[in-house]
Amino acid sequence: MKSRQVFGIGTKTRFAMALPLLAAACQAAGPQRADTFSAIAPAETVYLVGTEPFWSGEIAGGEAVWTTPEVMAGTRFRVDRFAGNNGLAFTGRMGAETFDVMVTAGRCSDGMSDRSYPYIATVKLGDRQFEGCAWTDRQAFTGPAAP
């Protein structure tokens, strides 16, 4: 089979010439790596709160407590921590349901008080999703202590 000619150079020759250039371009750029989220230290306790429906949570030392008006004492279970590029995640199982939390930087309001929180919290419990706010023992909310 005859090689196709473009600008006097065959397809096989153009491909062979392009390989070193492509390899050099990939090496020059290197793998894209972003630093992981480090605004919340592993030793900090993370507090979560949300409304409609009301819920709250606390995560510390690899353990979470999920509280609702129906279970005021809360449900305690193990979670794993993962630092991503733009936030912090916690995953575990609360009974038969998966529990996933994503905490990202951003001013947040619970919509019910005059508090302002430093983090946004998204919780997925089984197939239900909850939106709320978060803070830590070292990075507090601003506003009234008891709304």
User: 63-68 and 9-10 as β-strands: parallel, antiparallel, unpaired?
Assistant: unpaired
| Residue for token pair 């004492």 | 73
DSSP states of 74-113: EEEEEEEEEE-SSEEEEEEEETTEEEEEEEEEEEE--SSS
pLDDT at residue 121, as a whole number:
97
pLDDT at residue 110, as a whole number:
86
Length of the chain: 147
Q: Bigger pLDDT: 118 or 29?
A: 118
What stretches of the chain adopt beta strand conformation (E)? Answer: 5-6, 9-10, 46-50, 55-60, 63-68, 71-83, 87-94, 97-108, 117-125, 128-136
pLDDT at residue 31, as a whole number:
57
pLDDT at residue 147, as a whole number:
67
- Kindly state the average pLDDT of the residues 122-147: 93
CA angle, residues 103, 91, 38, in degrees to nearest 5:
40
Is a pLDDT exceeding 80 seen at residue 2?
Answer: no
Is a pLDDT exceeding 60 seen at residue 108?
Answer: yes
pLDDT in tens, 10-59: 544 443 444 444 444 444 455 555 688 999 999 999 999 999 889 999 99
Mean of pLDDT over the chain: 83
pLDDT at residue 113, as a whole number:
87
pLDDT classification of 145: cutoffs 50, 70, 90: confident
pLDDT at residue 70, as a whole number:
95
